[in-house]
Structure 1
Amino acid sequence: MTGHKSHATEPDLSATVPIPLARPGTAGTRAGHRGMSAIAELQTQPIMILGAGPMTPPTTADAGTKSSGGIGEGLALSISSALGALAGLASWLIAARLLPQAEVGHAAAVVSAFILIAGITQLNLGLGLIRWLPVAGRHAQPLAWRSLLLIMPLSAIVGLGYVIAVPDLARTAAGADGPLAVGMCLFALATAGWGVFVVHDYILVAIGKPWWTVWRNGLFAVVRISLLVVLGTAFGAQGVVLSWVGPIVVWIGVGSLVLLVVVRRFARQAEGGTMPCRSEVVGFLGPTATAQVGYTLLLNQVPLVVILRFGPESGAAFFIAWQAAVVIETAANYYMHSLSASWARTPNRAAELTSSSRRRLLMIFLPALAVGAVLAGPGLSIFGPGYAAAADVLRLLLLGLAFRLLVVHELGVRTAAGHGMAYARLHTASALLVLVAALLVPASTGTHPDGVGAALLPVALGYVAVQVACAVHVVLVRIRRRAGRPATT
């Protein structure tokens, strides 16, 4: 896979990061592929640090690929991700009403585990696709399908290996009397399906169909919750797992057929197009996929660690509080993802897009965090008294998330600018530090004298401390940039 390279760059257009630009017509045809993980960041601008040369957009007749700043794309991604996260929260509320708290903990462990493996094995290709598909033109079909056909078998194989190493997950999936092999197969199916589920959303956004993701995720949520009511009542923790696996398999099958049509139509409407060369793909995927592993561990391994260290009942209370925070975390990340697509289409507006995205991010999500903190107690009490005990834990998580918004914005900017290594360092460090805190804080599987909430407070305090430290670091880096000094991260 080769292409012509351009080494010309324009002046720095952003107060935050330098943006190398290609002269029209200098980019050649490139080949590559790419996919992504459930929650991550996206890119669309040339990655000069990768040594692959910049890319120029193809001429296309598809007005749907144009954007007036990515506001609609960001809103669609945020609503789509929030729908999924809220549906997850609603499903756990139903599960908490149907099942004993310990059973909820076991089911949560299975769901967190297959989402964890799927997120890691997506290789951050979703962000690559949202960066590369808008300029791929007639090459869009092979770019999308090579990515999906890489992710799905990889997710299934790694998922099978994971569940063999942790057979308790397979026992939950198989049910009390079911064969262990059935549980392993269900886990592998869920992992393979979820591995490409989120990537479908990024493909739709990249080809100018962002609002399709909202309908897709909304319908998926309705079906999954409906199945949970039926299957959870009949099969307990196994029913919770089945309510995920069934819709995932169906949605991937139907969604793949839809993508076959819309991506082909997108490619036919384009004139020309560019593909990322192999060095660009490897250079981008290397650091950013590593960072995505850390972020996936943050979202899914942290509650697993708490369940294992504090026991299923305390772990279930933490899991619900954590999911409530993840609703806002996920929406904020998806909102910033749109910056990459907008930046790729209008690189001359980089500084403006950077500033406006930060302002809108804080205006939208800080009030949401405040409302969440006020409603933490009443909200968790809906799940039951055992969950309401974690109200202060949730408030601390939301406090830490307020500082994390600065980190989320910086990650989005670094992604859009193609600064893969800087993105990876910040993303990996901020995620792994939380995981380390969850592993090192004092834990007890017995009953804490002051209740479940008090037992879990050290984990939440560790989360806040990490986010404050990372936010301070981001602010200092920005100050160094404005002062004209090189920022090392």
Structure 2
Amino acid sequence: MTASPPQAPPARTGRIGALLRSSAVLRSSSVLRSAAALYGSTVVTAGLGFAFWAVAARLASPAEVGSAAAAISAMQLLGSFCTLGLGSLLISELAKRPETTTRVVSASLAVSATVGLVLSLGVAVVVGPVLGRGGPLFGSVPGILVFALGCAAHAATAVLDLALVGARLPARQLLRNTVFAVAKLALLPVAAALAGLSTSMIYLAWLLGSVLSVVAVLSRSSRPSRWLRPPAPPTVLRGLGAQAAGHHAINVSAHAPSLVLPMVVVAVLHPVHNAGFYMALQIASFAWAIGVHLSTALFAVSAHDHGRLRRELLLALRVSLLVTVAGVAGALLLGGWLLGLLGPAYALAAPALVVLFAVSLPSAVKALFIAVCRVQGRLRLAATATVAGSAAEILAGVAGARYGVTGVAVGLLVANLVQGVLMWPRVAGAAGFAGPWPRRITGDG
């Protein structure tokens, strides 16, 4: 009698094996581990940041919240500009020169903070009244000084966060962001009790929270006295200007639309409209940040190991797609309810929230395009594409403002979709997808 052939393993066993293999891939991905550490900071910052604005919405009028959001967006935009690309530069340089960490980081912090202070003073005098609608933050010398100090603090802490990533100290970065988020939230009711929660007091709580977060990081340093000495001179950074300039153009332009558009809404519509729009941006930023952190982690782990780029990029694309689908579905089901908790003026931005979550996927493609260009040494290409794309996003948002905050969000989505289509060939080629694009692209661009 002929022995019967061996039976095929049950389909259930095959599915379990596939799940185990997928789990192993996720655990072995350096990009996902690094991005998860970065996203941990974002979840803390964005979650408590949303709580910050939710408390502000309960303690202040929508007009005050909208004006404060525009002022803080202006501070973040100027602060990001004044980092001069030094944060991204430190990610790669600290790995090459660990023995000079203190000198390079202290010089970078000093340069970014000084530029932030000087530049923001001039900007506050020229465009401050428009951003604050004549509010006290821009209508007095003390208010302008507080605004400038906020810009300097944001520039320095943005550089510090990326320096901690480059120094392989993600726990310190998480600590700084946690203290920052908790401190500024705790200061809001104090400010409301002492002087009433105005635009200026909301901004001041933000600034003091940033200062306390740096103090917390210094307290955890094994030798905090090193950082209290006069910083190293800018000459320590000599020879790194061209590379920093490329990173700088990318970083500023990539974040500019989400910072400029709240100012557009205030100027074209009204601070009350901006209150809802800004809260929608805060919620959507949970999804947007995943693509940004995947890009940062992809650059960090692949900068000196191009062989890892393809497999990590494929995983990043899958995660980005999943996040977008989940975000849009969640916004459709819960967006109106969540914004409505803050008040009727905020609930009007519910349709814009759905559109902003849809931006997540093309935005992730753009972020991964930047990472691929950085790994391949094509900083000029990434900078040119990102600057042009960000200008298109801002113009599209301005054009959509005639239809309200939903029109602003739709304009942002359309501009991101166009960029995603144009940037996809390079991303797809690096990921190894079949198509008319080259599989490997290298060069100095």
Fold match (TM-score > 0.5): yes
Work out whether 1:218 is the aligned partner of 2:178: yes
Higher RCO (Cα < 8 Å, 6 or more apart): 1
Instruction: Tell me the number of residue pairs that the alignment of Structure 1 and Structure 2 aligns.
Output: 400
Work out whether 1:244 is the aligned partner of 2:200: no
Shift of 1:400: 2.2
Shift of 1:327: 3.0
1:469 to 405, 418, 424: 418
- The residue type equivalent to 2:168 in the other structure is G
Partners of 1:198 and 1:100 in 2: CA distance: 30
- The residue type equivalent to 1:241 in the other structure is Y
Post-superposition Cα deviations, 1:68-107, rounded to whole Å, max 9, x if no partner, equal 7243321111121232222222211111111111111111
Q: Are 2:56 and 2:65, in contact at CA under 8 Å, matched by a contact in 1?
A: yes
Shift of 1:439: 2.4
Cα distance change, pair 155–487 in 1 and its aligned pair in 2 (3 A): same
Shift of 1:435: 0.5
Deviation larger for 127-136 or 82-91: 82-91
Work out whether 1:80 is the aligned partner of 2:80: no
1:104 to 65, 78, 100: 65
Work out whether 1:190 is the aligned partner of 2:150: yes
Work out whether 1:481 is the aligned partner of 2:437: yes
Tell me the residue number matched to 1:143.
104
- The residue type equivalent to 2:408 in the other structure is V
Work out whether 1:415 is the aligned partner of 2:371: no
Work out whether 1:456 is the aligned partner of 2:405: yes
- The residue type equivalent to 2:171 in the other structure is W
Q: Are 2:35 and 2:290, in contact at CA under 8 Å, matched by a contact in 1?
A: no
Tell me the residue number matched to 1:59.
none
- The residue type equivalent to 2:299 in the other structure is S
Shift of 1:303: 0.8
Shift of 1:133: 0.9
Q: Are 1:481 and 1:487, in contact at CA under 8 Å, matched by a contact in 2?
A: no
Partners of 1:343 and 1:90 in 2: CA distance: 35
Partners of 2:237 and 2:215 in 1: CA distance: 30
Work out whether 1:207 is the aligned partner of 2:156: no
Q: Are 1:95 and 1:232, in contact at CA under 8 Å, matched by a contact in 2?
A: no
- Give the unaligned 5+ runs of structure 1: 1-66, 266-274, 444-453
* Superposed counterparts of 1:85-484, under 5 Å: 85-168=46-129, 172=135, 174=137, 180-233=140-193, 234-237=195-198, 238-256=200-218, 258=220, 261=223, 278-279=238-239, 281-344=240-303, 346-364=305-323, 366-441=325-400, 443=402, 455-477=404-426, 478=428, 479-482=435-438
Cα distance change, pair 166–224 in 1 and its aligned pair in 2 (3 A): same
Tell me the residue number matched to 1:60.
none
Partners of 1:229 and 1:372 in 2: CA distance: 29
Partners of 1:98 and 1:433 in 2: CA distance: 36
- The residue type equivalent to 1:475 in the other structure is W
Cα distance change, pair 309–377 in 1 and its aligned pair in 2 (3 A): same
Deviation larger for 127-136 or 417-426: 417-426
- Give the unaligned 5+ runs of structure 2: 1-27, 228-234, 429-434
Cα distance change, pair 370–181 in 1 and its aligned pair in 2 (3 A): same
Post-superposition Cα deviations, 1:434-483, rounded to whole Å, max 9, x if no partner, equal 1111223353xxxxxxxxxx622221221111111111112244344337
Shift of 1:215: 2.6
Q: Are 1:299 and 1:326, in contact at CA under 8 Å, matched by a contact in 2?
A: no
Cα distance change, pair 418–228 in 1 and its aligned pair in 2 (3 A): farther
Partners of 1:473 and 1:346 in 2: CA distance: 26
Q: Are 1:288 and 1:424, in contact at CA under 8 Å, matched by a contact in 2?
A: yes
Tell me the residue number matched to 1:39.
none
Partners of 1:486 and 1:174 in 2: CA distance: 48
Q: Are 1:193 and 1:248, in contact at CA under 8 Å, matched by a contact in 2?
A: yes
- The residue type equivalent to 1:344 in the other structure is A
Find runs of 4+ consecutive structure 1 residues off by over 6 angstroms.
262-265, 483-489
The structure richer in helix per residue is 2
**Please, what is the CA RMSD of the aligned residues?**
3.0
Match of 2:30, SS state, is: coil
Match of 2:318, SS state, is: helix
Cα distance change, pair 401–355 in 1 and its aligned pair in 2 (3 A): closer
Partners of 1:133 and 1:440 in 2: CA distance: 43
Partners of 1:458 and 1:256 in 2: CA distance: 44
Match of 1:375, SS state, is: helix
Cα distance change, pair 276–358 in 1 and its aligned pair in 2 (3 A): farther
Cα distance change, pair 286–216 in 1 and its aligned pair in 2 (3 A): closer
Partners of 1:196 and 1:77 in 2: CA distance: 18
Partners of 1:108 and 1:341 in 2: CA distance: 32
Shift of 1:342: 1.1
Q: Are 1:288 and 1:421, in contact at CA under 8 Å, matched by a contact in 2?
A: no
Shift of 1:122: 0.7
Cα distance change, pair 308–350 in 1 and its aligned pair in 2 (3 A): same
Match of 2:223, SS state, is: helix
Match of 1:236, SS state, is: coil
Identity %: 24
Partners of 2:390 and 2:275 in 1: CA distance: 21
Partners of 1:264 and 1:71 in 2: CA distance: 33
Partners of 1:231 and 1:164 in 2: CA distance: 25
Partners of 2:37 and 2:441 in 1: CA distance: 37
- The residue type equivalent to 1:321 in the other structure is A
Shift of 1:219: 2.4
Q: Are 2:80 and 2:252, in contact at CA under 8 Å, matched by a contact in 1?
A: yes
Based on CA coordinates, which of the two structures has the bigger radius of gyration?
2
